[in-house]
Homo-oligomer: A and B are copies of this chain.
Amino acid sequence: MPAAFPLIDNARLADGRTVRLTLERGAIAAIEPMDGLRHGPSAPNALDLHGALVLPALFDGHLHLDKTLSGLPWLPHGAGPDRTSRIENDKKILPYLPISTRERAGNLIRRCVAHGTGFLRSHVDIDTHCRLDRLHGVLQAREDHAEYADVQLVAFPQSGVIRDPGTLELLEEAVKEGADLVGGMDPCIIDRDPAGQLDGIFGIADRHGVGIDIHLHETGELGLFSLQEICRRAKALDLRGKVTISHGFCLGTIAESSALAAAELMAESGVMLATHGAAKWPLPPLALLREHGVTVFAGNDDVRDTWSPYGTGDVLARAALIGWRADYRRDDQLGHAFDLVTTSAARAFGVADHGIAVGKRADFFTVQAENLQEAVASHPPRGWVFKGGRAVACDGKAL
């Protein structure tokens, strides 16, 4: 059960101040220097942080809550080496697991929350085989954990929309039932009809006023072509700040001059990038994208699921991994790594009241680190996690 603490004493902020935070109606009502205040817990319901660093809640911008095996005994990876095999393997495994989608998704949400994550964006598979079953499970998990995290759901056509006729209608239905965004998937490779897939999903977004988040694994010039087609439609439909390309491996596998042109195009059309660190692929040029004004945010992607055995759910560790791959070493660059899972992600999620400041929502976590840079680089275990002014996790466990 979440616990309420109206006063939080001896909280150290990223700017070095040690303060008392007063929480009211789920928001930060006051931030006062501890100097001059009585030291130690001021009231029975005050929490003394003893100088632990307080940082704003983390965003996990790319997850698959419906595919996780969290809570199950170990299940060896059963798919072949290519993506198509993983898609087919999911159809053989996911419907027959002994734990429901709702329960598995809930397990992973709580795991992420215990790491300081307050906001998640999960893709949820929709095809003519599972129809809206997984969405329903994840919608229930979202409702179960409404006090713990804000969860955005992407209606994700993992099997394509042209290749699997009827999927577009299901995506539209998913949006009506509560999905926040409509997804897409490798419009050239999976559907072999990029115009067909993109027109279909942009049409849904346009009709329902929702965002778009498209998995784009396509590399090299092929991926660049799809990226250009996505940007063109985002601009035409005036969807600035509402369209995300997830992965965008093409950005790391084309000539630098082409990546520069792609960055300019993304910035101009307001198309964002979500990265999980690119694994075996070259990382997209994050600094270049940032310099050109492209919003880049990050997520864990697979966390022990039918696609990958890896992942801990700790998106701060993921920010460090991405920073390491991006060659971010200086303090300002470690700030950029943190930005991937906080400020830029908040912009992508459309969350305006994020941060440690008076009037902002009381969504934050504590960590034993000297400063923000050490918190990212070493990502020590989290202490308290607050959501909407209440403690929702402590020492690695959801309350």
Interface string of A148-189 (1 = CB under 8 A from B): 000000000000000000000000000000000000000000
Q: Could you say which of B76, B279, B334 contacts A309, with CB atoms under 8 Å apart?
A: B334
Query: Which stretch (A30-38, A98-106, A319-327) binds chain B?
Result: A319-327
**Contact across chains for B320 and A310 when beta carbons are under 8 A apart:** yes
A74 on interface, CB distance cutoff 8 Å = yes
Shortest Cβ distance from residue A243 to the other chain B in the assembled complex, whole angstroms = 27
The CA of A320 and the CA of B280, in the complex, are separated in Å by 13
Query: Which stretch (A119-127, A219-227, A228-236, A367-375) binds chain B?
Result: A367-375
**Contact across chains for A325 and B77 when beta carbons are under 8 A apart:** no
Chain A positions 30-52 with a Cβ under 8 Å from a chain B Cβ: none
The CA of A373 and the CA of B308, in the complex, are separated in Å by 12
A329 on interface, CB distance cutoff 8 Å = yes
Residues of chain B with a CB closer than 8 A to A307's CB: 329
Shortest Cβ distance from residue A268 to the other chain B in the assembled complex, whole angstroms = 27
A190 on interface, CB distance cutoff 8 Å = no
**Contact across chains for B324 and A279 when beta carbons are under 8 A apart:** yes
Residues of chain B with a CB closer than 8 A to A309's CB: 329, 334, 373-374, 377
A110 on interface, CB distance cutoff 8 Å = no
Shortest Cβ distance from residue A19 to the other chain B in the assembled complex, whole angstroms = 20
**Contact across chains for A310 and B280 when beta carbons are under 8 A apart:** no
Interface string of A321-343 (1 = CB under 8 A from B): 10111110111001000000000
Q: Could you say which of B312, B320, B331 contacts A76, with CB atoms under 8 Å apart?
A: B331
A373-B310 contact, Cβ under 8 Å, with A279-B324, A325-B280, A326-B280:
no
A57 on interface, CB distance cutoff 8 Å = no
Q: How many copies does the complex hold?
A: 2
Measured CB to CB, the nearest residue on chain B to A380 is B312
A378 on interface, CB distance cutoff 8 Å = yes
Q: What's the tally of chain A residues with a CB closer than 8 Å to chain B?
A: 35
A67 on interface, CB distance cutoff 8 Å = no
Measured CB to CB, the nearest residue on chain B to A281 is B282
The CA of A371 and the CA of B373, in the complex, are separated in Å by 34
Q: Could you say which of B73, B81, B304, B324 contacts A310, with CB atoms under 8 Å apart?
A: B324
Measured CB to CB, the nearest residue on chain B to A308 is B329
Residues of chain B with a CB closer than 8 A to A310's CB: 320, 323-324, 377
**Contact across chains for A371 and B74 when beta carbons are under 8 A apart:** yes
The CA of A279 and the CA of B283, in the complex, are separated in Å by 9
**Contact across chains for A283 and B283 when beta carbons are under 8 A apart:** no
The CA of A326 and the CA of B310, in the complex, are separated in Å by 12
Residues of chain B with a CB closer than 8 A to A330's CB: 76-77
Shortest Cβ distance from residue A390 to the other chain B in the assembled complex, whole angstroms = 27
Residues of chain B with a CB closer than 8 A to A283's CB: 280
The CA of A304 and the CA of B369, in the complex, are separated in Å by 13
The CA of A325 and the CA of B371, in the complex, are separated in Å by 29
The CA of A173 and the CA of B379, in the complex, are separated in Å by 40
Interface string of A64-96 (1 = CB under 8 A from B): 000000000110110101000000000000000
Q: Could you say which of B77, B320, B371 contacts A329, with CB atoms under 8 Å apart?
A: B77
Shortest Cβ distance from residue A281 to the other chain B in the assembled complex, whole angstroms = 8
Residues of A within 8 A of B (CB): 73-74, 76-77, 79, 81, 279-280, 282-283, 304, 307-312, 320-321, 323-327, 329-331, 334, 370-371, 373-374, 377-379
17 A-B residue pairs with CB within 8 Å: A73-B370, A74-B370, A74-B371, A74-B374, A79-B329, A81-B327, A279-B324, A279-B325, A280-B282, A304-B377, A308-B324, A309-B329, A309-B334, A310-B320, A310-B323, A310-B324, A321-B321
- Shortest Cβ-Cβ A-B pairs, 7 listed: A309-B377, A77-B329, A76-B331, A74-B370, A310-B324, A77-B330, A280-B327
> 5 additional contacts, CB 8 Å, given A279-B325, A280-B326?
A76-B330, A280-B327, A307-B329, A309-B329, A309-B374
